[in-house]
Structure 1
Amino acid sequence: MLSFWERESLSKYDYVIIGGGIVGCSTAYHLKKKKPKAEIAIIERGVFPSGASSKNAGFACFGSLTELVDDRKGLSDDEQLTLVEKRWKGLLALRNILGEKNIGFEDNGGFEVIRKAELPALEYLDHYNQLLRSIFKKNVYSLKPNFINEFGFNKSDIETIVSNPFEGQIDTGKMMKSWWSLCSEMSIKIITGCELKGFEEKNDYVNLNCQSGNQSVQLQANKIAICTNAFAHKWFNQEDINPGRGMVLVTDPIEKLKFKGVFHYDEGYFYFRNVGNRVLIGGGRNLDKSTEDTVEFGINPKIKLAILHDLKELILPNQDFSIDMEWSGIMAFGAIKSPIIKKISDKIAIGVRLGGMGVAIGTQVGKELHELLADG
């Protein structure tokens, strides 16, 4: 139940952004830059972002070699080039807007572990170096077999390592803290613990029916943006938005950890990195896709077993370790890897389906989405 004062002064906005993750914050930020006098609110159902923005592995990446090779099945070279460029521009924008120090950015490089099954992908290494030269002006991928011993990996299971000097890593928590701080500094209202239950478009505005604890709250906005990634499917089931859960775990500190950087293997489905002297590892959704196509958080025992096996046998052979934490995040995928950025009506737009690349493209998606809302 709202008071008269709350209804008149606290519940009406020019723009309401649904979703307090990377895309939602970027959309609000760019709207406020373009329209400084606009009243803007971000509503987020959780205490923290509910999808993957504060639950991802913190990879500042744009695509491993085997992932790009696999994408050839559905994308032309021009389409792949466009997608990589969007990811790269998104990473640069994230670093520029928030500041590298504020997001814990580390320029340790990206790597791909190549086992026997992935060897055929190396035939495309020169092809992708040539293709991506228009963006990076130099070769992106190079072979570094000596890194197997240097990083302490199991050399009997690994054929070589592909190195990429343009990738890096961030602190996901610091990134979201910086986004929320920046939005607050710009007088963008952030309302957490506020879940959108439904919305209705009127002639001059959009009514939003929300739930905050046991209280029903109605907000009003001239225009709204839906930035809830996989969770947007409930409102737009005609769109190709499919959820994908990803699990992550992190070890306790490991004495004399030998590697730094971000690593992929198995066409990007598995990934690991250092966090200081800890190892963070996750992925494996491809082992049980039917179970992992869900918006429910949780840990899949089958995938966890595979991750722990690889951690012990592939990454940290003959080395003791213990697990500190495990968690999961919810991503969104579709038949194609490009995000959905579109107007649903004159008052409603969506920016969703980030394909597990939220860190890379989230900022850019928000920038493009704000243009749809700000025009007209």
Structure 2
Amino acid sequence: MNGAPDARGVVAGFCGELLSDPRHRDDPVLGDIAAQCRQPLRVLLVGDVSAGKSTLLNALLAGHHARTAHRETTSTVTWFHGLGPEAVRLPDPTHRGVRVDFPLARRLMIADAPGLNTKSEKARHTLRMLPGGDLAGAAAAYVFLLLRGRADGEAEALGNLTAMTAGPFDLVGNVVAVAGKADEVASDHAEIEERVPREARVPIRAVAVHQKMAVAARVAEVSAPLLSALASIRTRPELMARPTLGWPHLTGHLSEAQLAGLTAALGSPAWLPELIRRTADSATAEDVLRVVEEMSRIPVLEAVLADMADDEDLFTATGAVLRLRNWAARPGSGDGASVREGLRALQTTAAFDRLRARAAARLV
């Protein structure tokens, strides 16, 4: 590309020009848009209270970094990012940053935010991050967590989110719907992933994820009692011979700690026979946990997020342009016309021509 800047670089340069104007010097929105264009892809985790956002986040972060099992545990927006030495600028002074070395840390910044259905003021933090809020576009991609694998009750919210983030390229692919709490859903993952986009009535990707199982695969304090319980079950032919296993079948054969470990890792014993079958030839604990991870389908979600990160220039530049449009349209702005003209000029650059090609490829 002959060292030519990508679209994010072009937008950051435009923000720099605006910041050089004494009227806009130290403007926090312009400063953050410029920072966003130099950061890994910003991803916002969206969902209702008790949908399992914090558990999903802990699975993605491979550790207990977000509090769980408490109602409305997330009280502000927290950004989880990599361990680089440089300071990471956040969209708002009220946001919190946490350095974590997680599998996608070099490619993503993930924000955990209060649930949308909370009756407290906490949801305001999340609403500000969504299109139409005063921090609109501060995230460039979204993970929308559905409760119990259904999108029909969230069709309007998903439709609004995809429409308001489409930007000048009619963008698709920046929203992924996650059907979580798979232990509470009777449908298999293939049926869920085919049904959710149809229910949502928008072109989104969907992934069914078992958050608890994903955490058990990656967090030692959760995986240890699970491994102990599985080892005990394998020594009991009367349990191994059963086509189904429920908690009453296991009581008296396993310790309280082992039963608690199974509950924490699986949620429902319905997953146990398949797990036992698929780990029958596993020689080591690592082999068992690899199967647990596969069954959780967290690697599938990570593959989708990695695909998003492959197009971080497209998603981030689109979000940045939308933020600049909102900034130019703010009440009392006297230079909206000149900013809009500058944005039109940006879209004639070679970098934005490349974005159009990428956006068109995602529509196919």
Question: Higher strand fraction: Structure 1 or Structure 2?
Answer: 1
Structure number with higher relative contact order (C-alpha < 8 Å, ≥ 6 residues apart): 1
TM-score band, normalised by the shorter chain? under 0.3
TM-score computed with the length of structure 2 as normaliser: 0.26
